């Protein structure tokens, strides 16, 4: 988008958002963007500083705003993530700061977070979020279940910066503060002081098998260590399941997101461990296997 054609409605000052969006949508469609109109509207709303739903009522784009808009559309056409351009990602009821160095939370992960929220509503539970990234799951649980104590664990220094920023923003907004721990979730001594005390443990680990081809937005912009989980995608999931069995109290619950090719593999790992029961596979809105849940088995004497 190196030039901007004149339009009868543009006049000398402002271009109607609908005109700019229509043109941008054509550019994004040609670049292979799945929802070009929606993304063109989101970028226009971002530039104008209005909610997308009020875009039609907004003032036109001034020349400097139009230049900025055209530049953002051109960057999106190169498959730079939309969330990097706007600086935020929506997740359940949150707007999270994201950018280079942190995995952009996906809508399907909202299902796992919602499951965690449902299981954290009773009492004052201890909830642990492993591979927290931007903090999406942990912060959603903290916002929606204010009685919960939430611990978020992340290894990457870059991701930790985003996690701490989002945690501070949500605490300033009045949500219960989340405890951030810098640690590797595959460490066999992870969170040693919490063994046998965790009520709900959630994890969205790197799980894509190495040979799988991922979209340009992921390949060029999401951190490799947050995407790929070894040859079969289970390199992080295996130690997480083993450690979770020690962290969870008897009767505590686990939810772990996984690749859609793991619909049988992850439940099988949980069943083979012997310390879990009530293993259940959950599908996303497209009907694909997306996360698996289980309950920490009670001691034999307590059954």
Task: Give catalytic residues, as residue numbers.
Answer: 103, 204-205
Closest CA to 255 of 108, 156, 148, 94: 108
Taking the alpha carbons of 74, 80, 82, 83 in that order, is the dihedral positive or negative?
Answer: negative
Residues comprising the chain, all counted: 303
96 by Cβ neighbours in 10 Å (0-12 / 13-18 / 19+) ranks as buried
What would the DSSP string read from start to end of 170-227?
HHHTTPPPPEEEE--TT-TTTTGGGTTTEEEEEE----B-TT----HHHHHHS-HHHH
Q: How far apart are CA 237 and CA 199, in angstroms?
A: 19
């Amino acid at each position: 988008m190196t030039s901007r054609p004149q339009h009868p409605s543009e006049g000398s000052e402002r271009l109607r958002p609908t005109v700019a969006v229509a043109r941008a949508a054509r550019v994004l469609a040609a670049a292979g963007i799945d929802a070009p109109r929606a993304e063109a509207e989101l970028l226009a709303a971002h530039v104008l500083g209005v909610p997308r739903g009020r875009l039609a009522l907004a003032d036109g784009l001034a020349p400097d705003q139009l230049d900025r808009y055209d530049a953002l559309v051109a960057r999106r056409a190169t498959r730079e993530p939309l969330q990097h351009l706007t600086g935020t990602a929506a997740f359940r009821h949150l707007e999270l700061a994201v950018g280079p160095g942190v995995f952009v939370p996906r809508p399907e992960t909202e299902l796992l977070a919602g499951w965690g929220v449902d299981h954290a509503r009773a009492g004052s539970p201890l909830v642990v979020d492993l591979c927290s990234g931007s903090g999406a799951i942990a912060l959603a649980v903290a916002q929606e279940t204010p009685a919960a104590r939430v611990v978020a664990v992340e290894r990457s220094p870059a991701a930790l910066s985003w996690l701490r920023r989002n945690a501070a923003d949500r605490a300033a907004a009045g949500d219960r503060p989340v405890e951030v721990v810098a640690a590797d979730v595959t460490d066999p001594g992870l969170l040693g002081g919490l063994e046998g005390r965790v009520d709900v443990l959630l994890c969205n680990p790197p799980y894509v098998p190495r040979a799988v081809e991922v979209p340009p937005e992921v390949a060029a912009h999401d951190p490799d260590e947050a995407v790929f989980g070894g040859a079969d995608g289970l390199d992080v999931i295996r130690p997480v399941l083993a450690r979770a069995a020690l962290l969870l109290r008897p009767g505590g619950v686990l939810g772990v997101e996984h690749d859609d090719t793991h619909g049988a593999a992850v439940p099988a790992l949980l069943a083979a461990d012997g310390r879990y029961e009530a293993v259940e596979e959950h599908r996303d809105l497209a009907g694909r296997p997306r996360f698996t849940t289980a309950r920490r088995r009670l001691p034999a004497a307590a059954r």
